Amino acid sequence: MKPRSNKSKRTRKRIVAKHLADELGVSISTISRAFTPDTRISPKTKAKILEYAASIGYQPNPYAQSLTTQNNTIVGIVVSDISNNPFYPEALARLSDALRQAGYNAMLFPVSEGQTPDDVLPQALAFEPEFVIVLAATVSSQATVFAAEGGTNLIFFSRYVPGSPTFSVTCDNADGGRAIAEHLVECGHTRLAYIAGTPKTSTNRDRWTGFSERCTELGVTDVHKEETGIFSYDSGYQAALRMFARSARPEAIFCANDIVALGAMDALRGELGLKVPDDVSVAGFDNIFMSGWPSHSLTTYNYPLEQMIAQTMMLIERISNDPDYDPISVVVPGHLVVRSSTRARNGQDEHPAG
C-alpha cells in the first residue's frame, strides 16, 4: 500500500494548474473552478480554460483532489474465487463498466489463495472508498463494523451476510429453486435429487430451500440431497457418479449451478452411458453461456445479471445522495429457461446456440 520507490521516471513532468494559470493570465483558483461544478465562473473564461486544457491534455490531479475534497472516485471490489464460475468474471466486467460510466473507478482487491476477504478488506479501506463491493464472498461482522466506522458502505453482490444489516444484491435463489422444482414435477418426475454446491454459501442454501419446499408443497417427498460438494465441474461429475451408484436412482437432478450440472451431465452421459433427458433430466442454475450450447442444452434458471447490476448502481446512487439510507437486501427474480436437458412434457423444446 506504500508508494513504490520511484527510480523509474523518464522525465515525468506533469502539467499542473499553475501552468495553465500562467499561460492564460488567471489565477489557479480560476483554473480549478473551470473543473468544479456549481462554482461562480464566467462562461467565457471557463470555455477558454477547458479548451486550452483539452489541447494540452491537462486533467486535475486526482490525488490532490481527493486530499482537499475528502472524496474520491474509487470503488473497491473484493473478489475471491472468481475463476470457478464463468458467471463472476462477467459480473466483474459489467460492474466495473457500469461504475466507470457513473464516474467511479473500480479498484480490484483479489483474495489470494489462503487468504480471506477479511484480510484484504483493510487494504481497500485504506483508499477510503465510499463503497466496497464484495463479489461472491462474505466477510465477518467485525469487518462490516470496521468498514462502517471509516464511512465505507459495503455492498454484497450475489451473496449476503445472514442476519447482518448490510446492503446486498442477490438473485432470487429461492424462487429459482422453486421454479426448477415446479418444472421437474410438471415433467412428471417423482424421484428427485439435488446436487449441492459449496456448503454454507447463501446461494447454495437458498436454492436448496426453495427447491425442497416447493417439492413438499407439490406433494413430492422422494427428494434426495447429495450434500458433499462445491461449485465446480468436477464436484458435479463425482456427485453424479456417487448418486447413481446407489440403488434408488433419481429421475431428475437439480444441480446447485450450471457448472455443477454440466459436470453431472457429462458423468451421466459419458461414464454411465445414460441419455439426457430420456433416462434422467438435469437442470442447473445461472444460465451461463455454455448452457445454451447444443452439446448440453441445459435447462436452467436465468441469473438476472443485467438487472442486478442496475440495482447495484441504483443502490449506490441512492446511498450517495442519502447517507442515512438504511441497509436493504435487494432480491432480483430471474426466470426459468427450459431447454432439452429436461424431459419435455408438452413437446416444448428450446434450443438456442451459444
Partner DNA sequence: AAAATTTGTGCAAACGGTTGCACAAATATT
Partner DNA sequence: AATATTTGTGCAACCGTTTGCACAAATTTT
C-alpha to C-alpha distance for 218 and 207, rounded to whole angstroms = 17
Stretch that binds DNA, among 60-68, 281-289, 297-305, 342-350 (CB under 7 A): 60-68
Nearest to 180 by CA among 145, 150, 226, 223: 223
In the set 30, 109, 172, 197, which binds a second copy (CB under 8 A)? 109
70 binds a second copy (CB under 8 A): yes
Residue with cell 459449496: 198
Stretch that binds a second copy, among 57-65, 164-172, 194-202, 207-215 (CB under 8 A): 57-65
The DSSP bridge partners found for residue 226 are 195
Stretch that binds a second copy, among 17-25, 183-191, 317-325, 332-340 (CB under 8 A): 317-325
In the set 6, 55, 142, 247, which binds a second copy (CB under 8 A)? 6
Site for a second copy in 265-294 (CB under 8 A): 265-266, 269-271, 289-290, 293-294
Half-sphere exposure of 281 (CA within 13 A, CB side): 26
* Residues binding a second copy: number (CB under 8 A): 93
Following DSSP, what letter does each residue of 211-244 receive, concatenated? HHHHHHHTT---EEEE-S--SSHHHHHHHHHHHH
Site for DNA in 67-86 (CB under 7 A): 67-70
Stretch that binds DNA, among 22-30, 139-147, 204-212, 220-228 (CB under 7 A): 22-30
296 binds a second copy (CB under 8 A): yes
- Looking at the Cβ atoms of 63 and 219, the one nearer to a second copy is 63
35 binds a second copy (CB under 8 A): yes
CA angle 232, 234, 239 (to 5 degrees): 100
- Residue 52 CB, shortest distance to a second copy, in Å, is 16
Following DSSP, what letter does each residue of 138-187 receive, concatenated? ---HHHHHHHHHTTPEEEEES---TTS--EEEEE-HHHHHHHHHHHHHHT
16 binds DNA (CB under 7 A): yes
C-alpha to C-alpha distance for 106 and 99, rounded to whole angstroms = 7
Site for a second copy in 208-267 (CB under 8 A): 232-234, 237, 262-263, 265-266
β-strand pairing of 74-79 with 131-135: parallel
Rg (CA), the chain: 26
In the set 27, 42, 62, 335, which binds a second copy (CB under 8 A)? 62
65 binds DNA (CB under 7 A): yes
- Looking at the Cβ atoms of 42 and 221, the one nearer to DNA is 42
- Looking at the Cβ atoms of 44 and 351, the one nearer to DNA is 44
List, in order, residues 6 or more apart from 80 with CB less than 8 Å away.
110, 111, 117, 135, 136, 137
Give which of a second copy, DNA, none residue 45 binds (C-beta under 5 to 8 Å, depending on kind): DNA
What is the strand order of the sheet 192-195 is part of?
Answer: 223-226, 192-195, 252-255, 281-283
Residue with cell 502539467: 15
- Looking at the Cβ atoms of 88 and 254, the one nearer to a second copy is 88
C-alpha to C-alpha distance for 270 and 267, rounded to whole angstroms = 5
Site for DNA in 23-52 (CB under 7 A): 25-33, 35-36, 39-46
- Residue 4 CB, shortest distance to DNA, in Å, is 11
Give me the residues that bind DNA (CB under 7 A), please. 2, 14-18, 25-33, 35-36, 39-46, 58, 60-61, 64-65, 67-70
